[in-house]
Amino acid sequence: MSAVRRLVVEADGGSRGNPGPAGYGAVVIDAATGETLAEAAEYIGVATNNVAEYRGLIAGLTAAKALFPDAGTTGPELRVHVRMDSKLVVEQMSGRWKIKHPDMKPLAARAAAVLPPSSVTYEWIPRAQNKHADRLANEAMDAGRDGRQWEAAASTAELDAPARTPLPDRGPPGDAAAGAAKARAALAEARGGTEAGTLFEVGEEAPQAPGSTASEPALPEPAAAGPTDVGAVAGAAAASSSGTAATPAPQVGWAAAPDLGAPATFVLLRHGETALTPEKRFSGSGGTDPELSATGRDQAARAAAHFAALGTVQEIVSSPLRRCRETAAAVADRLGLEVRVDEGLRETDFGAWEGLTFGEVRERYGDDLTAWLADPETAPTGGGESFTEVATRVAATRDRLTARYAGRTVLLVTHVTPIKTLVRLALEAPAQAMFRMELSAASISTVAYYGDGNASVRVLNDTSHLR
């Protein structure tokens, strides 16, 4: 029986914005000794978390192959066990989940083509066990933020990583140091490569780690499966285009449907101040439609600078009301984007309460106000909209925009009630939760919407860009 050289590849990727500035990290480890044989990391520009994770996997496998280029020919057979905290990548590369997203298919093909599929197994691990690769990815993103590329000589990722326990007796470590230069050269070539790959069946079995911790809180992922065939990536890829492969039934919470792809991410920007804002007057869609004040224009400019620095906004949609259109225009001018106006994003019609303070409404329409606060079905005095009516309008707008902008990051410039409603609906909270949210002028909130209907509230009332 021929000798077998066993390696472990740990890989990770991250995106600060999803999509946003992204990077990956990968480490090749000797399975017998726990020794680090090679590290790889790179800032890859604006990308999603999933793209960065796949890039990390490709880099790790490429490094492993380059360390032992004679494996399987004149040298011992190479076996690589991949450990990642991305359930999505592990399940797709194991063939258990379909690869539907167009950005993932070529990356999965590249990863499957690096080594013979029968020589690679996959395992999901909790994020806490993937700290070395995670730190490499963050070092790469930090380097990109500073306008430079990651350098191995400056890395402290291994120093910060927890000590590893060698795997059970699985063969000799071999002479890894001699292949380090080849690994770096192969990685450099792979970064610019666009090689195509055929996805094959794999006959190995690998146990999945128990538990359901997700590598990214915003991406609900199902609990790990038990030991199973880790191949069939070719079958999964083919079925994804033919529609014949079985897909696990959608579930809720941490047991969500697989391969959701990048979400539609709504960045919710409340408009800047008007003359009515600091006086806390009802200002809906049935009033005077005020313009931004000088303070509001400054807030809009600060928001524009913030989004320009992030570089993540791809589309802009605004309420038709003037204060929102002016705020949206300030951002659009800075980003070079057009503004689409959507009637569904307008503020509540507050009827006879328009332009009044809360105290003035209580004095004039006390019973109506009490009923309005107690019952979302109750409309303001004089034929305004109830919260139930607004929620119906906003939900329809949400569904229309998530379908139009699937997988994209969209800035929605709107008002207090639509933003609070989107957050409330995402959390499946009662209507009374609207009164328990603070939402400042020109504040930013973020909600991500996945293909199975699940939503994740990521940010609420962030005003750090205004300081």
> Active-site residues: which are they?
271, 347
Q: How many CA atoms lie within 13 A of 356 on its CB side?
A: 18
Of the candidates 224, 229, 216, the one whose C-alpha atom is nearest the C-alpha of residue 260 is 216
Of the candidates 419, 408, 287, the one whose C-alpha atom is nearest the C-alpha of residue 344 is 419
CB 3 within 8 A of CB 78: no
CB 254 within 8 A of CB 219: no
Provide the greatest CA pair distance for the chain: 92
Q: What is the C-alpha separation between 308 and 63, in angstroms, rounded?
A: 36
Q: What is the C-alpha separation between 425 and 427, in angstroms, rounded?
A: 5
Q: What is the C-alpha separation between 215 and 87, in angstroms, rounded?
A: 7
Specify the DSSP element, H or E, that contains 123.
strand 120-124
Bond into 250 cis (ω within 30) = no
Q: What is the C-alpha separation between 54 and 110, in angstroms, rounded?
A: 9
CB 87 within 8 A of CB 211: no
**DSSP 8-state code for residue 408:** S
| φ, ψ at 151 (rounded to 5°) | -125, 130
How many beta carbons lie within 10 A of that of residue 289, not counting itself? 15
